[in-house]
Amino acid sequence: MTATPIYEIRDLVKLYRRGSQEVVAVDHVDFDLMPGERLGIVGESGSGKSTLVRMMAALSRPTSGDIAFEGTSIVGRTDDELTGLRRGVQMVFQDPRSSLDPRMTVGDIITEPLRSRVWKGITRTDRAARLVEVMTQVGLDPQDASRYPHQFSGGQRQRIAIARALAPKPRVLIADEAVSALDVSVRAQVLNLIGDLVAEYGLTLVFVSHDLTVVRHVCDAVLVLRSGRVVEHGPTEQVYVDPQNPYTRQLLASVPRLRRDVNP
Ligand SMILES: Nc1ncnc2c1ncn2[C@@H]1O[C@H](COP(=O)(O)OP(=O)(O)OP(=O)(O)O)[C@@H](O)[C@H]1O
Ligand SMILES: [Mg+2]
């Protein structure tokens, strides 16, 4: 029996117009993502990582090509038709300062996804119970739900963002540079938290990062983007130990701690 991919991405293109110029941010990308897979997306700044995952979360529309989520195309759908995706996929972004509304309490921020139209059936009591549950899961004190984001440290704010993403019990978690803005000491803790949660709930993870060391730690497959194109895609250890593409080799060679592991 072969499992059905949770995402099927076919010939995906995203063009941006900048004045009279066209930027090909995502250039004919093809790949499948299997349920439970932890996929790292790496590549230098501007290689199209965020553009790709934003389209996967239906936050932006492809110029051409197709994205199927759980067997159904999400391209060109209305909001009403995207209920499955909105319930099943949640994102965590790099900077919790801009992704968390400073005027909302932490409790309101975390339960916001559950107040959206796609979750009509959820009562206040359900939401309050879920709030306590997810705050505990990410290592926050549920008593702090009435406080505001600025009263927390950077690492705690990212825990708030993770709690909000988990609240609707998603099947896919997309983290776009979710630990990149954190201090090194805090980064490891938040990274371990993401790893633990993904394992515990059997989540499918899309983990965008320019940090190859971090990706090796959490992902079982890696996709390397360069100028919007996939130049390499394979199991993590294979890509790190025996990279096939010269650009991947160059990327890996620029990480001091990995250099000794990479074949010349
Ligand atoms: N809204 C936009 N309008 C115009 N061009 C854009 C827009 N968003 C991204 N781009 C361009 O598309 C390309 C890919 O950008 P993207 O943000 O996806 O890269 P990235 O790999 O996420 O980079 P980073 O590591 O810096 O986050 C870049 O050339 C960028 O300038
Ligand atoms: Mg980005």
The predicted structure's pLDDT at residue 185: 86
CA distances from 235 to 92, 120, 169, 172 (A): 24, 40, 27, 19
The predicted structure's pLDDT at residue 161: 96
* Per-residue pLDDT of the chain in tens (264 residues, 90 and over written 9): 568 999 999 999 999 998 999 999 999 999 999 999 999 999 999 999 999 999 999 999 999 999 999 999 999 999 889 999 999 999 999 876 677 999 999 999 999 989 887 777 888 999 999 999 999 999 999 999 999 999 999 999 999 999 999 999 999 999 999 998 898 889 999 999 999 999 999 999 999 998 888 999 899 999 999 999 999 999 999 999 999 999 999 999 887 665 444 444
Question: Integer distance in angstroms from the first to the last C-alpha of the chain?
Answer: 38
State the ligand closest to the CA atom of 26.
Answer: 1
The predicted structure's pLDDT at residue 121: 81
47 lines ligand 1 (CB under 6 A): yes
User: Which structure tokens are listed for 151?
Assistant: 């009263």
State the ligand closest to the CA atom of 29.
Answer: 1
- Hey, what amino acid is at 240? Y
18 lines ligand 1 (CB under 6 A): yes
**Ligand 1 centroid – CA 237 distance (Å):** 28
The predicted structure's pLDDT at residue 98: 74
The predicted structure's pLDDT at residue 137: 97
23 lines ligand 1 (CB under 6 A): yes
Domain assignment present for residue 79? The answer is yes
| Ligand 1 atom closest to Cα of residue 208 | 22
Structural domain harbouring 103:
7-259
Which of 12, 21, 23, 176 is the best mutation target for the ligand 1 pocket, counting ligand atoms within 8 Å of the beta carbon and taking the most? 23
The predicted structure's pLDDT at residue 264: 41
Domain assignment present for residue 2? The answer is no
State the ligand closest to the CA atom of 49.
Answer: 1
Domain assignment present for residue 205? The answer is yes
The predicted structure's pLDDT at residue 260: 47
**β-bridge pairing 204-208 and 221-226:** unpaired
Domain assignment present for residue 1? The answer is no
Domain assignment present for residue 199? The answer is yes
Domain count, the chain: 1
Domain assignment present for residue 175? The answer is yes
* CATH code, 158: 3.40.50.300
Task: Indicate the burial class of 90 (C-beta count within 10 angstroms; 0-12, 13-18, 19 or more).
Answer: buried
Q: Which of 202, 196, 200, 195 is nearest to 172 (CA)?
A: 202
**Ligand 2 centroid – CA 15 distance (Å):** 16
Domain assignment present for residue 264? The answer is no
The predicted structure's pLDDT at residue 2: 66
**Ligand 1 centroid – CA 23 distance (Å):** 9
| Ligand 1 atom closest to Cα of residue 14 | 12
